Chains A and B, each alone.
Chain A
Amino acid sequence: MIKLSLTQERDPIQRIQELVNNLKTLEEFASNIDLSEIHYLTPLTILPIAAKITKLSENCNISLNTPNSLSSIFFPEGTTTPIADDNKNQMPICHVNLIKPEMNRINLIERISTEYDHFIIEYLKRNQEVSENYRGSISYLISELCDNVIQHSEAENFWIFSQFWPTRGELEICLLDDGLGLKGCYDRRGIGTSSHYDALSQAIEGKSSKLETPNERGYGIGTNINLFCSSELQGEFTLISGNACYHNSSNIVEPKLGTIPINWQGTIISARLMRPTTRVDILKYISK
């Protein structure tokens, strides 16, 4: 049996460390997984674990010992039809299989992103007034990141999960896929990158993975970082692809970029944003 653990750690780097430790433990796969010591979770720390366990369970039976808090968010399988629970501050985990033949990949992801966006906004409205610009920020994040999955990832699965902390006015959204990852996208299109680290840095710089249109805007990750780490939203942005990890936030001078001791097949993106107290002009953050 392997045991996973998440503490109430607030420091984002420590939370990333906990995630990496748990994913590393899962790589030493065992059929019994004990999650009873997961007392506090965030989308970034739990969604990759859910995805990993779901993938592992495709090939064999896994016995899970989970606390009730996890079953209420449809852990680990997720649902394609999230339903809001008035008593919870978490949205259910939404998981979409993109290779089912009856489903149109693009429409499916866009439908999920539109519904999930609407779902979050309606949920937030129960707890607070949601200004148009806050609403726009959330819509922008979800649509842009889902757009990346559609255009670049070639993923088989897509997951999204979010949590709201009403007293702190914070919202965290995590999206991930099991696709090519950033390096795979560049390599597939004949754009050489020396490592996941190199690919991640090129994506942040805005390099497009489309060889035929190299001047076209790339993943838009730089835009997301600028928007969510802005003084208005005071947020955090984390991106993992392969064995490379990036973290930036409004309250650090120098972002972190480096390698981690796991290799995630695909991409993990997490953003945390504060309820803005001033108007957010999304337009000024958007590059062509």
Chain B
Amino acid sequence: MERTIYLKNLLNSSQVALRTTTDLILQEILSQSDSKKQIIIDFTDINFISRSFTHQFITAIESLKTTYQISLKNMLPEVASMVLAIQEQKINQDFTKSRKNLFPNNFDSQNPVSFF
């Protein structure tokens, strides 16, 4: 037996922000009396890439997986790769490779210089 929660429907029905959607979905999951029921979270038509939301959402889902059977489906590739990285805690792995020089060469935070 399974129950599917469509993210898109939650967004359309309540006009809430994605951050609030996390809470709504968690409430939906926690309201299931039968923890053995398979819960599917369907990402159809969801295209968000907000790291802060995705990280918050997936972390919450991962912690609930110890009690509930939860699966995610129909994710766009961008979303899926973000989710996978968060699940595998790989998100910081390649960061240093792509770093740009963030500060001027003679930078000293205590000795401001003129911008122009």
Contacts and interface: CB of A to CB of B under 8 A. Distances in A.
Interface of A: 13, 16-17, 20, 106-107, 110-111, 114, 132-133, 135-136, 139-140, 143-144, 147, 194-195, 197-198, 201-202, 204-205, 220, 222, 225-226, 229-230, 244-245, 247-248, 253-260, 282-288
Given A139-B50, A259-B115, A286-B91, 6 more contacts: A107-B17, A114-B17, A132-B77, A147-B50, A248-B102, A256-B104
Contact of B113 (A194, A222, A259, A284): A259
Contacts of B115: 16, 244-245, 247, 256-260
Interface of B: 15-20, 47-53, 76-78, 81-82, 85, 91-92, 94-95, 97-105, 107, 109-110, 112-116
A2 to B, nearest CB: 21
Given A204-B102, A255-B102, A17 B49 contact: no
A139 B16 CA distance: 17
Contacts of B52: 143-144, 147
B102 A222 contact: yes
Nearest to B108: A201
12 contacts: A114-B18, A132-B78, A133-B78, A136-B47, A143-B48, A143-B52, A144-B50, A144-B52, A197-B109, A230-B98, A255-B103, A258-B113
Contacts of B77: 132
B18 A110 contact: yes
Nearest to B55: A288
A258 B113 CA distance: 5
Contacts of B19: 106, 110
Nearest 8 A/B pairs, CB to CB: A110-B17, A258-B115, A143-B50, A197-B112, A284-B94, A136-B49, A201-B109, A245-B115
B104 A257 contact: yes
A107 B20 contact: yes
